[in-house]
Amino acid sequence: MKKRYRNGKIWDFEHEIGELGNREVILGLDGGTTSTVCICMPIFPFSDSFPDPLPVLARAVAGCSNHNSVGETAARETLEQVMADALLKSGSNRSAVRAVCLSVSGVNHSTDELRILNWLREIFPSHVKLYVQNDAVAALASGTMGKLHGCVLIAGTGTIAFGFTEDGRQARAAGAGPVLGDWGSGYGIAAQALTAIVRAYDGRGPVTILSSNILQTLGLSSPDELIGWTYADPSWARIAALVPVVVSCAEAGDRVAHEILQDSVEELALSVKAVVQRLGLCGEDGKASFPLVMVGGVLEANKRWDIGKEVVNHISKSYPGVLPIHPKVEPAVGAALLGWNFLMTESHKEACKR
């Protein structure tokens, strides 16, 4: 196969693998601000239920692939490398790929999708079906096993709420990045904590144990040093990594940390409620049931502070039909299942035309 794009060397392994018979595969990718995961899964026959356990051939991990965070060139190189790694580990090559479903943060407009589709077309043979989605779509599919219905809330380094109806309508809230206010995200929580430390040091805000705990965690001796630490490398994930310290301070009874987490709960719930209302997922009476897939480290339970549980409690006051789902598979598997569903749907439509 002709090597394409600027990273041709990463596909050199294909010369050693050669043709692999009839085993066809799907690649599912989940690309976020912190990491990118690619799953290689074999094509399996259409049925009412998926195999249990799901037949995953290989899994590969790489760094950030959000072009808004690292730039388009670095994002492309990361995505191409992680796909090559997954195929190499599975003993497959690009000729064996039937479909690629790439779900990545930073895909916010049809122009983003088209740009990535054109780039993927340079890499894969013409027979490969290509699908590009926001990373929230893969997260939703990981909880609904490839079906696009309901709402997903992602709260990790960043945050977004994304919803689909059964007739294909969709809506989103938040997910605009830290500059435009990803409040409720890991970055948002940690940034508020850093701001609280500076305010306390200046005398503009209440005293908080966030000061001593975060400074100790970072190996700093004074709040003055926070400015240099923050702007030396203001990457989103680096800031968001301080969330566990904020949670531990809240669990220790710190009022400032508690208020930051409470603000996070309200912001995350507000994002979900905005999507539910716009799509009418709750029905005309507001009481219809709908799945809410919850993904991301911020939503994981801690000793006494369970942000995810608090978010659901907050939402259920307005929409009692909310059904929280904590996925049993990771979003990259959800992307692969989504690709499988897209592929089977297209194959069925083509068969009906014959």
3-145+330-353, CATH topology level: Nucleotidyltransferase; domain 5 (3.30.420)
- The DSSP string of 18-56 is ---TT--EEEEEEE-SS-EEEEEEE-----SS--SS---
Task: Please tell me the predicted confidence (pLDDT) of residue 333.
Answer: 95
The domain spans of the chain are 3-145+330-353, 178-325
Give the number of other Cβ atoms within 10 Å of residue 87's Cβ.
25
Q: Give the rounded distance of the alpha carbon of 312 from its chain centre.
A: 19
φ/ψ of 321, rounded to 5, equals: -85, 5
Give the span between the Cα atoms of 14 and 18, in whole angstroms. Answer: 6
Task: Please tell me the predicted confidence (pLDDT) of residue 3.
Answer: 41
Type of residue found at 239: I
For residues 98 and 24, the answer to whether their CB atoms sit within 8 Å is yes
Q: Give the rounded distance of the alpha carbon of 94 from its chain centre.
A: 25
Task: Please tell me the predicted confidence (pLDDT) of residue 279.
Answer: 97
Helix and strand numbers, DSSP H then E, in the chain: 13, 10
Task: Please tell me the predicted confidence (pLDDT) of residue 110.
Answer: 84
Structure tokens at 73: 């060139």
Residues with Cβ < 8 Å from 266, sequence gap 6 or more?
A: 184, 314
Helix axes 243-251, 210-218, angle to 10 degrees: 140
3-145+330-353 and 178-325: same fold? yes
Task: Please tell me the predicted confidence (pLDDT) of residue 236.
Answer: 85
pLDDT tens profile 34-44? 789 999 999 98
Farthest CA pair distance, the chain: 75
* Domain 178-325 sits in CATH 3.30.420.40: yes
Which residues does the chain have with pLDDT short of 70? 1-8, 18-22, 47-49, 348, 351, 354
Task: Please tell me the predicted confidence (pLDDT) of residue 22.
Answer: 61
Give the span between the Cα atoms of 143 and 325, in whole angstroms. Answer: 6
Structure tokens at 244: 């566990």
Beta strand pairing call for 159-164 and 150-155: antiparallel
